[in-house]
Structure 1
């Protein structure tokens, strides 16, 4: 593991997903999942999210669409919060999920709306 890339990834991961989410993921890591956490932090967050080619808001837009299309509810909830942290509005998130419905199917869109609404309502209540 490259320490500099890991540290960069951890900074981006925390800025996007929040300290509480990242702390929980790291604290819950055990001998089986520790390598997974290091890999995700280094390569996903450090190498890819750390690139200069597109900004974090655009990366969040892409992630919401892909994660919705793949029907990954746990990751979608985390990335809805991340999208808000990266500057996406509730209206923009709605438009992304409508786009998912047209190109990936109504069931993916309906589930994604359900998850996004729960997270956005929680954020408003905080």
Structure 2
């Protein structure tokens, strides 16, 4: 994968395991392999804090965390992240119908443009994954 010394910690390894399980090893490995001196600190922070600390906390299961992430990222109208986390949500057991409902809730509470953009991004992923015709 990578031999960057800054990626060599117990918390990074713990986060890397969860990050791969949720987002897929291919995506995560591409992100880490493309890390350079400028981007490596962000990869380290995201892997340790987000995936090592937060996603490993016992208070919520991964399915619930996926619901929350989809809602927040959609509310922020970040379609690229929506696509990534739709794949993660599918890996964590969400159905296409549940994902659609998140986007509809976002549209009502956060604005129709954010909901529509997120729904479109989700539909692209669901189609790629064979979950939509």
TM range (shorter): over 0.9
Matched, 1:15 2:47: no
Superposed CA RMSD: 1.3
Matched, 1:87 2:121: no
Q: Deviations over 1:16-50 (max 9, x none)?
A: 00011101100110010011101100001001011
Structure 1: 5+ residue stretches without partners: none
After the TM superposition, which residues 50-65 of structure 1 pair with which residues of structure 2 at under 5 Å, given as runs?
Answer: 50-65=56-71
| Matched residues, number | 125
Structure 2: 5+ residue stretches without partners: 1-5
The one of 30, 55, 71 equivalent to 2:36 is 30
Q: TM-score, normalised by structure 2?
A: 0.91
Deviation at 1:8, TM superposition (A): 1.0
Aligned counterparts of 1:52 and 1:109: Cα–Cα separation in 2: 30
Q: TM-score, normalised by structure 1?
A: 0.96
Deviation at 1:60, TM superposition (A): 0.3
Runs of 4+ in 1 over 2 A off after TM superposition: none
Matched, 1:100 2:109: no
Matched, 1:74 2:113: no
Deviation at 1:106, TM superposition (A): 0.4
Matched, 1:121 2:124: no
